[in-house]
Amino acid sequence: MDLVPALEEPLRQPLKSVLGPATAKVMAEHLGLLTVGDLLHHYPRRYEERGQLTHLADLPMDEHVTVVAQVADARLHTFASAKAPRGKGQRLEVTITDGSGRLQLVFFGAGVHKPHKELLPGTRAMFAGKVSVFNRRLQLAHPAYELLRGDPEESVETWAGALIPIYPATAKLESWKIGKAIQTVLPTAQEAVDPLPDTLREGRGLVPLPEALLKIHRPHTKADIEDARSRLKWDEAFVLQVALARRRHADAQLPAVPRKPAPEGLLTAFDARLPFTLTDGQQRVSREIFDDLATDHPMHRLLQGEVGSGKTMVALRAMLAVVDAGGQAAMLAPTEVLAQQHHRSIVEMMGELAEGGMLGGAEQATKVVLLTGSMGAAARRHALLDLTTGEAGIVIGTHALIEDKVQFHDLGLVVVDEQHRFGVEQRDALRGKGKQPPHLLVMTATPIPRTVAMTVFGDLETSVLDQLPAGRSPIASHVVPAADKPHFLSRAWERVREEVENGHQAYVVCPRIGDEEDDPKKSGRKKSPEDEAEKRPPLAVLDVADQLTKGPLQGLRVEVLHGRMHPDDKDAVMRRFTAGETHVLVATTVIEVGVNVPNATAMVIMDADRFGVSQLHQLRGRVGRGSAPGLCLLVTEMPEASPARQRLGAVASTLDGFELSRIDLEQRREGDVLGQAQSGARTSLKVLAVIEDEEIIAEAREEATAVVAQDPELTRLPALRTALDALLDEEREQYLEKG
């Protein structure tokens, strides 16, 4: 008996009388909720108790929040402005409190009348809005609110007793409106089909799915919430792990050409040339890769490691092994700057071994070609010919490698650098160029905690490089609070001058370019007066470079680098910087990965709070690459107690990328993590926290592997198959198949 259709009903038509077309439209467009089932799986983010108030001290900046609090005082101010020149402008400031912290609400213009009447001292309400900073204090501008009047009938009906569910909401639809819509469709939860096999559910003492849905949306006790969350976490972990286990199973059935390096070939000659010894980690990971390459089904391996741990060296040795075995290897880089950098460093490392077919080339040599979108026609034709004939054993390129014209003689290995920047279709198109599926090595320099790797890349075997090569220098990192202590910023520029005087170079990184295209003033976006007051646009490369040249870095050679420059200009700037002709490079995050200038020892990151933790860690890895110690200064105007400052403090306090990625994940929602690896809005985990729920993920992986081994098509588990189809709608099914 198939009971799913009740949950598959679209929110827009059948429930018109219940939800109203406007609400259904907002749910579809802003929350991705299209069916009754989607709405039932939109779980509360947390719960408030009627008798308690929210912690206002921990509010996240720039996020939409719902708080339950009490009005402490309300003041109406009049002021003169362009629109009300005779002092008739009105602003209502309301202070709300939860006993431990205070938060300011502000209403302007005609919007002051209703709250002025309703938000009297002592009133309790739910407030929803976006947290911003004004005059160095947190505030909500024009929040929506719902008074909590304690009407007995309403509290039972709408909020189900003492626990008030607070839902992930948007500016267009407040939490309490979502709550009311969910109460309307809650009876259909009885018809939810349970994806967990009975033996698994009973063996682990988990409640049935309909009961879990009722308890998460209408809990009577905290134990109800616990029961529901334990059950729903298992659903998410198990269904995702089944998808990944099916993919591993399918991959194991594919044929591939085993690639074993020749005993005295290119790899042996390359190793003999190395002026240093590989670290134990590099040797261990290389062995894992060589074992995979020797099998007759395709390798799928994730190589992750610290910034500067020598991943490129490991990848190059894998490519040389494949060339030795008669195949070709392709390395896909996300940007032209990085592709050129990789090409240059690989040719340097190989020396005469990269000069196959040329005078002076070694006996075992091959050709290493570069292929990017901006190459001249003649150079491009030459490179394409070398690939087709097999003359070039190694090709390094951007997405230009994927174009139809590009044909390989015998593609044996694809290395994808900086995995999260490539769409699946791009990787798939490159893999489709092999006569049989080539082996795949995916590299990322953003260290990923084990649990995330199991959840996001669960179909890949993982190798970790956690040792830094000898001779790498330590990097000192400091937060520079520009607003609290302006003299710290002046000192930062002095430090940059000192580094240059000592013969070194520096980077200055900004979040924005600063030309017309990314200038908010010219992009036609209208901003409210509150927005204007609280937030200046992020600092821009062109402005900062100009100010530095005329001001604190006058007399030094300063150049700019950003993504919208012509590729030849970018390459010329990088060459001058690498050669030491430029003292200071003011850049956007185009330098985030792979850029290797050992003489650059200092980095100043402007508006550092506008970057993510892993991005800051990546950027910082550009300094300290030589024998001199590195210095990274994180400049911010955020107040000391703000979460942004705590985040920067965490980055400054440790150089351990794995530790930082855990901190990063604990502070962000997991959806961001999965969003990079899985396409589609609905894969985001709702209740499973990949860091906290390590045990559940590991157990779910074991259970899923066992289920798939016995029944790869899930013929005996139709409900699980249905849940899998819902997770992997057609687009995502293809996504997982492409990997």
Summarize pLDDT for 226-280 with one digit per residue, the tens: 999 999 999 989 998 998 898 888 888 888 899 998 888 899 999 999 988 898 9
Q: Residue 446 and residue 617: Cα distance in Å, rounded?
A: 8
Residue 47 pairs in a beta bridge with 165
Q: Residue 205: CB partners within 8 Å, gap ≥ 6? A: none
17-41 pLDDT, tens digit per residue, is 457 788 888 888 888 888 888 889 8
What's the pLDDT at 152?
43
What's the pLDDT at 67?
82
Element (H, E) at 318: helix 311-324
> Which amino acid appears at position 33 of this protein?
L
What's the pLDDT at 364?
77
The answer to whether residues 270 and 318 touch, using CB atoms and an 8 Å cutoff, is no
Give mean pLDDT in consecutive 10-residue pieces for the chain, a chain of 739 residues: 53 59 83 84 82 66 77 87 67 87 87 90 85 83 81 43 76 83 88 89 93 93 93 91 88 88 89 89 95 92 81 94 94 86 90 76 83 88 92 90 85 82 63 84 78 71 78 85 90 95 95 69 44 61 93 94 86 91 92 78 94 86 85 92 86 84 68 42 62 85 93 91 73 44
Rounded to 5 degrees, φ, ψ at 207 are -75, 155
Q: Residue 152 and residue 156: Cα distance in Å, rounded?
A: 6
**How large is the C-alpha radius of gyration of the chain?**
29
User: Is the torsion defined by CA of 652, 654, 655, 660 positive or negative?
Assistant: negative
Q: Residue 28 and residue 515: Cα distance in Å, rounded?
A: 35
Q: Residue 240 and residue 596: Cα distance in Å, rounded?
A: 38
User: Rounded to a whole number, what is the distance in angstroms from the first to the last CA of the chain?
Assistant: 34
Q: Residue 651 and residue 290: Cα distance in Å, rounded?
A: 35
Q: Residue 138: CB partners within 8 Å, gap ≥ 6? A: 56, 59, 61, 103, 104, 131, 132
**Residue 649: how many CB atoms within 10 A of its CB?**
13
Q: Residue 687 and residue 311: Cα distance in Å, rounded?
A: 34
Q: Residue 52 and residue 402: Cα distance in Å, rounded?
A: 58
Q: Residue 12: CB partners within 8 Å, gap ≥ 6? A: 21, 24, 25, 28
| Inter-residue long-range contacts of 324-327, CB under 8 Å, 24+ positions, other chains counted | 324/261, 324/262, 324/265, 324/266, 324/267, 325/258, 325/259, 325/260, 325/261, 325/262, 325/293, 325/412, 326/259, 326/410, 326/412, 327/257, 327/259, 327/410, 327/411, 327/412, 327/413, 327/438
User: Is the torsion defined by CA of 283, 285, 290, 295 positive or negative?
Assistant: positive
174-179-182 Cα angle (round to 5): 130
Helix (H, G, I), strand (E, B) or coil at 71: strand
pTM over 0.75: no
What's the pLDDT at 464?
87
What's the pLDDT at 185?
87
| Inter-residue long-range contacts of 308-311, CB under 8 Å, 24+ positions, other chains counted | 308/468, 308/469, 308/472, 308/621, 308/625, 309/279, 309/281, 309/465, 309/466, 309/467, 309/468, 309/469, 310/278, 310/279, 310/281, 310/282, 310/465, 310/469, 311/443, 311/445, 311/465
What's the pLDDT at 731?
44
Q: Residue 273 and residue 365: Cα distance in Å, rounded?
A: 13
The answer to whether residues 331 and 306 touch, using CB atoms and an 8 Å cutoff, is no
* CA 283 to mean position of chain CA atoms: 30
The Cβ-side half-sphere exposure at 594, using a 13 Å CA radius, reads 23
653-680 pLDDT, tens digit per residue, is 988 877 887 777 776 654 444 444 433 3
User: Is the torsion defined by CA of 654, 656, 657, 663 positive or negative?
Assistant: negative
The Cβ-side half-sphere exposure at 43, using a 13 Å CA radius, reads 22
Query: Max CA-CA distance within the chain?
Result: 91
Residue 605 pairs in a beta bridge with 509, 634
What's the pLDDT at 389?
92
Tallying the residues shown for the chain, one arrives at: 739
Mark 525-550 as b/e (b = at least 16 C-beta within 10 Å): eeeeebeeeeeeebbbbbbbbeebbe
